Structure 1
Amino acid sequence: MASTEGLQAYEEENLLLSLPKERGWASRYLYLFQHFWCPSTHIQGVNDFQKNFQAKPSDVLVASFPKSGTTWLKALTFSIINRKRFSSSENHPLLTSNPHELVPFLDFIFHADNLQQKLSHLSNMSEPRVFGTHVPFPSLSSSIKDSNCKIIYICRNPFDTFVSSWTFFNKIKQDSLHEVTIEEALEKYCKGIIGFGPTWEHMLGYWKESMATPNKVLFLKYEDLKEDINFYVRRVAEFLECPFTEEEESDGVIENIIKLCSFEKMKDLEVNKSGTVGRNVEKKYLFRKGEVGDWVNYFSPAMTEKLSKTMEEKLSGSGLSFKTCS
């Protein structure tokens, strides 16, 4: 066992030495791995995920770029799928567990020891299994892409994603690193140098797949959910082939899910105020403002022009666009 672990560490170190690297935001370096920028702590997990994860037709994958509404969509998806198991809001798992604990990241699960034990646990999970991922579409395991499992993707206006990422990473950064200024961060962001970035490549991968296979990939925008959450809760249920019945609608099931998963409700829960989740991220940092357009409080005119031009260049001709004006 020791020799196997030693060989894996040796291979991982050699892989890192072969990859282009840049200064990271919260970690010392990001590495250009499979055409996206990845923290060194995630590369082995992504590798193991690609090689070992076996998707089931009933699986549901919540995919996102970091800080794009991931926690909210995980909570909504979990609640929609499990609404008959947990019909009473009084004993709902979301009241005692963080959404990331109920919908674990596949790219985090596999970066650890006891791989066979984890695979056994995954295969024995009750179905439908619900997972999360920040991995770009081209780097998903082939079993996900080749199976009939469903993918729900959420993206967000890159202006708000940037501000949310900048404030978040400065809170969770390694103690030995200096705090990244907003100007430094924007320079890196526009070059695509951010964990799981470039942002536009990430979005466009899922955007194109949603148009090619609309029954497999549902593409959502954070801003649309904020504007009409009732419509999109129904839309997600229909996409997952478990639409709400007339009886459920008249009983207020949709409204109860929306209330349970609201930003205000989740932020106020004790379970989300202390402790850590994922790779030792403090839960309290997962809930900041949850607002649309908060970026205007941080951007100078020059910064607005810079990111607007970058977005125009990167998204041109794709059909994917965002409102960038305040």
Structure 2
Amino acid sequence: MDSTVSESESRVVPNFLDENRELSEDCKDLIATLPLEKGWVAKHLHQYQGFWHTTRQLQGLLSCQNHFQAHHTDILIVTTPKSGTTWLKAWTFSLLHRHKYHPTTQNHPLLTHNPHFLVPFLELDLYLDKPSLPDLSSLPSPRLFSTHIPYVSLPISVTQTSCKIVYLCRDPKDAFISLWHFTNRLRPHTMLPNSLHEAFHKFCRGVSLYGPFWEHVLEYWHKSLEHPHKIMFMRFEEMKLNPEFVLKKLATFVGCPFSREEEEAGVVQEILKLCSFDNLSNLQVNRNGKLSSGEAHRAFFRRGEIGDWKNHLTSDMIQQLNAITEEKLAQHGLRF
């Protein structure tokens, strides 16, 4: 999901972009060996296992790889950045907890907490800048987490257990425009915004947060075909165009399908209403609150629409992105 953010709210650099914090010795040693590029917000991006990460984000990823132990009953939301992560977190949280919190209840957690608080990122929230490793063993089952980590970099326990992965991606043209807007909001006052052309050039080369975009998507696409009971592959466009169908499919996949009684009582529609862009973006908590990492909640609600790229990209840019997508994805049966 992408709403306009005030200037003062938009210039707080999140923890995972703050390069002034001390790194572990292991991370320092590794970074010295990795390819380096100029970042979109942070000064540097480092290429690790084929994908680009900020310095702080990489430390969180390494800690997550070394220490996270998945349970067989875990559910992991994986997304490419700016592909509808906030929306999918709201959907999945409300699905899993609907018997405790009916979507129409006045004390529903989504009414008082941002979805990113309710479904934390492994590498950005749980394993970054903590004085000690998080104790996740006592969390009620099923545990629900999220990440942007590419498949090749997932903790071994995730791939070796039967925990489920819900993967969400988006048309790369919309994903790029949303990422460009989002990162410019995060740049400090002392930095000029990234120009559209500069950001576009980097994105096309694969130099973006957790990029290359196409390789990130393709890994999960292949794995979803090989292991359809473990990985559900979703597109943002399908969520927008056929939300009821996709929500019911998601509920079945994560092991809590809607009963006939629930469907007849309109529970599906109530969850969609609770988690809608209009509802979430206008809640007080999402208009004024901030994450512990520093980002304003409002930064995650801009437009939430399909096709915003038409308002920004030139015909040459559109042609170039379409050509890259066709070359890298279409031959594998994946189109947007």
Provide, for residues 128-169 of structure 1, a one-character-per-residue CA deviation record: whole Å limited to 9, x for no partner: 110000000111101011111111011000000010000110
In the alignment, does 2:117 pair up with 1:94?
Answer: no
Deviates more, 1:145-154 or 1:170-179: 170-179
Structure 1 stretches (4+) deviating beyond 6 angstroms?
Answer: none
Q: Distance in 1 between matches of 2:228 and 2:121?
A: 23
Q: Give, in whole Å, the separation in 2 of the partners of 1:80 and 1:27.
A: 36
Equivalent-residue separation in structure 1 for 2:23 and 2:146 (angstroms): 25
Give, in whole Å, the separation in 2 of the partners of 1:89 and 1:35.
45
Q: Is the 8 A contact 2:24 2:59 kept in 1?
A: no
Secondary structure of 1:209's aligned partner: helix
Kept in 1: contact 2:170–2:236 (CA 8 A): yes
Q: How does 1:172-251 map to 2 (within 5 A)?
A: 172-251=186-265
> C-alpha distance in 1, partners of 2:88/2:198?
30
C-alpha distance in structure 1 between counterparts of 2:234 and 2:115, whole Å: 18
The number of aligned residues is: 314
**Residue in structure 2 matching 1:113, options 130, 140, 163:** 130
Query: Paired residue for 2:167, among 130, 138, 153?
Result: 153
Taking structure 2 as the reference length, the TM-score comes to 0.91
Counting aligned pairs with the same residue, the percent is: 41
Q: Does 1:292 align with 2:306?
A: yes
Gap runs ≥5 in structure 1: 1-6
Query: Which of residues 46, 67, 78 in structure 2 aligns to 1:63?
Result: 78
Query: Structure 1 length normalisation: TM-score?
Result: 0.93
Q: Over residues 242-281 of structure 1, what are the superposed CA-to-partner deviations in whole Å (9 max), with x where a residue is unaligned?
A: 1100111111111110000001100000101123226311
Deviation, structure 1 residue 317: 1.1
Segments of structure 2 that go 5 or more residues without pairing to the other structure are 1-21
Superposed displacement of residue 127, structure 1: 1.2
Determine if contact 1:162/1:189 at 8 Å carries over to the other structure.
yes
Query: 1:83 is matched with which residue?
Result: 98
Letter in 2 for 1:241: G
1:73 aligns with one of 85, 88, 103: 88
Q: 1:311: Cα distance to partner?
A: 1.4
CA distance in 1, matches of 2:300, 2:217: 21
Does 1 or 2 have the higher relative contact order (CA < 8 Å, sep 6+)? 2
Q: Name 1:137's counterpart in structure 2.
A: 151
Contact 1:27-1:174 at 8 Å conserved across structures: no
Q: Which has the higher helix share?
A: 1
User: For residue 325 of structure 2, what is the aligned residue in structure 1?
Assistant: 311
When the two chains are superposed, the root-mean-square deviation of aligned CA atoms in Å is 1.5
- Letter of the structure 1 residue corresponding to residue 121 of structure 2: F
Q: Distance in 2 between matches of 1:135 and 1:26?
A: 19
1:117-128 → structure 2 map (5 Å cutoff): 118=134, 120=135, 122-128=136-142
Q: Which amino acid aligns with 1:44?
A: Q
Tell me which residue corresponds to 2:66. Answer: 51
In 2, Cα distance between equivalents of 1:92 and 1:197? 35
Amino acid at match of 2:106: E
Distance 1:61 1:278, change over 3 A: farther
